[in-house]
Amino acid sequence: MTLADTRAGIAAVYDELGRRLGVPIDSAVVISRIGPPLEHELTYWLPSEEIPAAAALYRSLYPVTAVPMTTLMAGAVEAVAEVRRHGGRVIVVTGKQSATARQTVDFLGLDVDEVVGSVFGAAKGPAIANFGAAVYVGDHVGDIEAARAGRAVSVTVATGTYTAEELRDHGADVVLRDLTGFAAWYEAWRITEIGTVSTVM
């Protein structure tokens, strides 16, 4: 819920997953806690021994079901363009598998340099640091931990499951209502910062 609104697509995949497995899954509840890895969410609905097969089925359904239903978050294109305008690079680091994340980014037409998937929370840190990113943008408290681990400025948007107050209380350096406020913040931040302007979202 930072660059892409995946809620409708994820709900549709979970609805189909539940139908195929014969297991009641409340996709509205799933959507209310988007962020952690797929396998973590599946623990709420399935016994542990059934999770690997269910995760594989989910991932086979996602490209054909969820990706076409994904839409851009407000300000996403402009945020990426602002980084580009100043000569910066953009990397997407996500809990989704890399191939699925790349399909989503391409479907939305976002101009990013690199996609790294299957990482969450502080585990995103190495990808952020290796890319040399100075800013990490996310919507989850796990993204704040990711920024800390990657030694980047934590910029958060209150467009996911956490409120602005919750993100601030968890230690975000910057809290924005949504990405429409990113360009102005980024321009002001660059004036006071010297060095890399690579950005992660």
The radius of gyration of the chain's CA atoms, rounded to the nearest angstrom, is 17
State residue 199's pLDDT score: 60
DSSP helix/strand/coil, 5: strand
State residue 198's pLDDT score: 58
State residue 191's pLDDT score: 85
CA dihedral 39, 9, 140, 128 (to 10 degrees): 80
Residue type for position 72: L
Tell me the whole-structure pTM to 2 decimals.
0.92
Q: Which domains does the chain have, with CATH numbers?
A: 4-69 (1.10.150.240), 72-200 (3.40.50.1000)
List Cα–Cα distances, 14 to 8, 17, 99, 136, 189, in angstroms: 10, 5, 19, 29, 40
Measure the CA–CA gap between 187 and 38, rounded to whole angstroms.
35
In tens digits, the chain (201 residues) has pLDDT values of 999 999 999 999 999 999 999 999 999 999 999 999 999 999 999 999 999 999 999 999 999 999 999 999 999 999 999 999 999 999 999 999 999 999 999 999 999 999 999 999 999 999 999 999 999 999 999 999 999 999 999 999 999 999 999 999 999 999 999 999 999 999 999 988 755 455 656
